Structure 1
Amino acid sequence: MSSKAGKAKKAKGGGTGTVVNNRRAFHDYHVMETYTAGIVLTGTEIKSIRAGKMSINEGFAKIENNEVFLYGSQIAPYEQGNIHNHAQNRTRKLLLSKREIKQMQAKVQEKGLTLIPLKVFFKGPWVKVELGVCQGKKLHDKRDTLKAKDAKRQIDRALKERS
């Protein structure tokens, strides 16, 4: 009986939640739509991601031959890895349905949008990437966003002081 209880606990606590957020993407881009994709990884990459050693700040995705690939993401080499450790900046394949890939391809080609990874998270034992179909912001848009954030922060402070 104790082995069943141990398995249940392991399954419950088995890596849920966000590992990496790309906060810069929300500053530099307007996010039009989001998609959730699986990612093809090796064993040492999974262990490094569980340790939180991943960066997607300079990452982007491209559609090539009806497949989606993630470029520019960095997963640090696993510290206890051996000679078969993974390359830090390799291209990684993303797993999406054909319908989703066709929708993304149409949007990227027509409107000049780009695919940016917004966050990496665990869904059960699987690592998922949230891709955003994004359009670049102009400098004045970034300034407007910062002004709106500051105004909201000041309003929240004023309301907090009153109560």
Structure 2
Amino acid sequence: MSLITPFGARRGVFEAGFMGGGMLVEQKIAQLSHSCEKYRASQDMSEKNRAAVGDRLREERDRTGLSQEQFAAALDVSRRTLVAWERGEQSPNADALTAAAEVGVDVLYVLIGQRSAPVESRLTPDEAALLDNYKHSDEEGRAAARRVLSSLAKQKTG
């Protein structure tokens, strides 16, 4: 190309020297435009992820039976912060997720939508049998089991 720029240089020569590596302005613009599109797509994905995490966090809060106030207190955040998380406007941090796990939230489910293995699947056969017996007892039997196990645990630690 031999177009003359306002500075008197030939367009192709000027652009090659200015942009470096012989890249023309049009190519650089196309490259920047592509980068902007990728950035917008990643932002859209982040917004979708935050919304999904917020929905699942609310679902888990409901499953645990906690109000927003109770849940926020357990996570040591304000109710306003919790609402922002549940709406997908912000994402919970690691400290909050750790606290959520301590009140029974399935954090794996909140983050990626996949349920963690139930506790029963991680028990030894003896533990599973004890839990099954406990579940199939009436309230009087469960209370007796709690008293016995509490007494045994005190003997071991005392």
| TM interval, short-chain normalised | under 0.3
More strand by share: 1
* TM-score calculated relative to the size of structure 1: 0.24
- Larger Cα-atom Rg: 2
* TM-score calculated relative to the size of structure 2: 0.25
